[in-house]
């Protein structure tokens, strides 16, 4: 394999489906390479990109170590790699799926505990009275330590949890948990509640670059081709084109530009949220019929994520 760029995507679960759907939507199909048990793939549409399918946790580790150039994984998993992760992984684009919050949850029966300050006090009283520390079940050790320290909670200890963290208090293995939740339903089902100031991170899937990877000019070129497509598709989703007779040099154009629309050869490109307002202004001014349609891609000359990547790599 002499591919210049490695892209890691999740190998299982809902996140895998969402990433595949996102790439598909951008016109980038995946073809699994045979004989490799489906853990490698080719990206159709961009040359020089090898796709590796890994677990989301392994992707975070591979990004931080520089084993892969680009990857899609949760921000929660990246942060769990430790403080160096911030320096060696660059978030390029939030993807709007894989949303999950990392939260501190305490038993609902603890009516006297609704904030981290309550937790701090209860933890200390426990230590003084029994000599034992409050037990916190989690697999997010790094973020738990950092967050608890920031809130002055010192008298606790972590019980490392492999899976089903939310069940630890019911099982008698812990008092509170730090875990990922989307709706809070699983926590509630386990008689736990999220503390008012207990949201550690609002996470979602992120397209991320590994800064320690070996970035050759060819790799950077492949990344730029890929990112331009992804950005163009994202921009297309966020905008609509409006055309009307005489729209190429209508004197009303400057006024609409001040609203945030951008001039195009035969009309305007407007953010989706502005389409109705712009169209109403046009029809009120006697222009029409106004046709609004969604573009498939909007390629801009600039590509901000690539610019940020070059800066972070000291290449700009």
Q: Interface with another protein includes 143 (CB under 8 A)?
A: no
CB 178 within 8 Å of CB 102: yes
Binding footprint of another protein, residue count (CB under 8 A): 39
CA distance 154 to 157: 8
Residue from 16, 42, 93, 133 in contact with another protein (CB under 8 A): 133
Residue 206 and residue 73 in contact, taking contact as beta carbons nearer than 8 Å:
yes
Whole-angstrom Cα Rg for the chain: 25
* Interface residue with another protein, options 21, 86, 154, 280 (CB under 8 A): 154
d(CA 136, CA 177): 5
Residue 16 in contact with another protein, rule: CB under 8 A? no
If one asks whether residue 219 binds another protein (CB under 8 A), the answer comes out as: no
What would the two tokens of residue 238 be? 């966020």
| Residue 158-187 contact track with another protein, rule CB under 8 A, x = bound | x----------xx-x-xxx-----------
Site string (37-66) toward another protein, x via CB under 8 A: ------------------------------
Angstrom distance (rounded) from CA 132 to CA 144:
19
Establish if 130 lies at the interface with another protein (CB under 8 A).
yes
Toward another protein, which CB reaches closer, 190 or 241? 190
CB-based contact 143:101 (threshold 8 Å) = no
Element (H, E) at 51: strand 49-54
Residues that bind another protein in the complex, under the rule CB under 8 A:
106-112, 114, 118, 120-122, 124-127, 130-133, 135, 145, 148-149, 152, 154-158, 169-170, 172, 174-176, 190-192
């Amino acid at each position: 394999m002499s591919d210049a760029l490695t892209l890691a995507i999740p190998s299982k679960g809902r996140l895998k489906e969402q990433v595949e759907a996102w790439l598909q939507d951008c016109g980038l199909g995946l073809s699994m390479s045979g004989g490799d048990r489906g853990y490698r793939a080719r990206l159709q549409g961009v040359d020089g990109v090898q796709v590796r399918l890994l677990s989301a946790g392994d992707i975070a580790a591979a990004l931080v170590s520089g084993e892969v150039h680009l990857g899609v994984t949760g921000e929660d998993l990246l942060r769990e790699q430790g403080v160096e992760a911030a320096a060696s992984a660059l978030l390029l684009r939030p993807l709007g799926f894989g949303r999950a919050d990392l939260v501190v949850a305490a038993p609902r029966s603890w009516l006297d505990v609704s904030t981290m300050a309550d937790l701090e006090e209860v933890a200390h009283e426990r230590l003084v009275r029994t000599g034992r520390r409050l037990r916190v079940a989690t697999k997010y050790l790094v973020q738990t330590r950092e967050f608890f320290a920031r809130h002055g909670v010192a008298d606790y200890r972590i019980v490392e949890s492999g899976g089903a963290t939310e069940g630890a208090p019911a099982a008698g293995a812990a008092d509170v948990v730090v875990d990922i939740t989307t709706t809070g339903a699983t926590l509630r089902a386990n008689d736990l509640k999220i503390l008012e100031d207990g949201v550690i991170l609002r996470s979602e899937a992120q397209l991320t670059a590994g800064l320690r990877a070996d970035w050759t000019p060819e790799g950077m070129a492949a990344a730029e081709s890929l990112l331009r497509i992804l950005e163009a598709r994202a921009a297309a989703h966020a905008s609509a084109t409006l055309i009307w007779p005489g729209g190429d040099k209508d004197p009303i154009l400057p006024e609409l530009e001040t609203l945030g629309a951008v001039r195009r050869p035969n009309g305007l490109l407007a953010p989706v949220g502005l389409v109705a307002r712009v169209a109403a202004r046009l029809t009120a001014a006697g222009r029409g019929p106004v046709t609004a349609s969604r573009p498939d891609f909007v390629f801009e000359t600039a590509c901000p994520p690539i610019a940020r990547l070059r800066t972070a790599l000291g290449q700009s």
